[in-house]
Amino acid sequence: MVTHISHSPEETLALGEAWGRAASAGLVIGLTGDLGAGKTQLAKGIARGLGITGRIHSPTFTLVNEYGGGRLPMFHVDLYRLQTAEQIATAGLEEYFRPAGVSVIEWAEKYFPVEGTKSKVQGLPAQFRRVQIETINESERRIIYEDFGA
Ligand SMILES: Nc1ncnc2c1ncn2[C@@H]1O[C@H](COP(=O)(O)OP(=O)(O)OP(=O)(O)O)[C@@H](O)[C@H]1O
Ligand SMILES: [Mg+2]
């Protein structure tokens, strides 16, 4: 498990950018954190690191936004409006959990287990990065992450 303290939105963007640069196809990045923690900010960085130049905005109503034009496609999923793993499956979102590119999932704990709990579903994606973002104060965030699989 790695802990990174971000002191600004720009620093969170830079962390995501490094992840995007290093990402390989099939990576699923699951983000957990309160409203305004910085999940979308991190997703913007990941997109930038993948070489995606378009504007990234939260797919709160569309559930998923797909971005091409980069080294790999990025699928940005927001589970905020869904409650159960069953609803997520019914909404057709499970295909984004074995992506041809990179998937970034906001409110990932609605489908994937959080630390110290048993799997809510059968197994994790082949390559999964579980990320927890905690708000320390107005400008600081604690970003804790752990990799599973390849
Ligand atoms: N160190 C930091 N890292 C990331 N964001 C920060 C930081 N400091 C302040 N912020 C601010 O916090 C907000 C994070 O918003 P963002 O939309 O990324 O959150 P979110 O977790 O996606 O929220 P939501 O649950 O509503 O989707 C932005 O306004 C950003 O400027
Ligand atoms: Mg968001």
Give the pLDDT confidence of 108-144 residue by residue, as tens digits.
999 998 877 766 666 789 999 999 999 999 999 999 9
Instruction: Supply φ then ψ for residue 114, to 5 degrees.
Output: -85, 170
Going residue by residue through the chain, which has 150 residues, state the pLDDT in tens, using 9 for 90 and above: 999 999 999 999 999 999 999 999 999 999 999 999 999 999 999 999 999 998 999 888 899 999 999 999 999 999 999 999 999 999 999 999 999 999 999 999 999 988 777 666 667 899 999 999 999 999 999 999 999 997
Burial of 15 (0-12, 13-18, 19+ CB in 10 A): buried
Q: Judge if pTM exceeds 0.85.
A: yes
Q: Decide: 102 and 27 in contact? Cβ < 8 Å.
A: yes
Using CA atoms, how far apart are residues 10 and 3, in angstroms rounded to an integer?
17
Atom of ligand 1 lying closest to residue 58 CA: 27
CB of 58 shorter than 6 A to ligand 1: yes
The residue whose two tokens read 């923690």 is 37
Using CA atoms, how far apart are residues 45 and 21, in angstroms rounded to an integer?
10
pLDDT of amino acid 119? 63
Residue 17, domain CATH: 3.40.50.300
CA of 39 to the centre of ligand 2 (A): 5
Number of domains composing the chain: 1
CB of 40 shorter than 6 A to ligand 1: yes
pLDDT of amino acid 121? 60
Q: Decide: 127 and 28 in contact? Cβ < 8 Å.
A: yes
For 11, the domain range is: 2-149
CB of 110 shorter than 6 A to ligand 1: no
Q: Residues with Cβ < 8 Å from 28, sequence gap 6 or more?
A: 96, 97, 98, 99, 102, 103, 105, 124, 125, 127, 128, 129
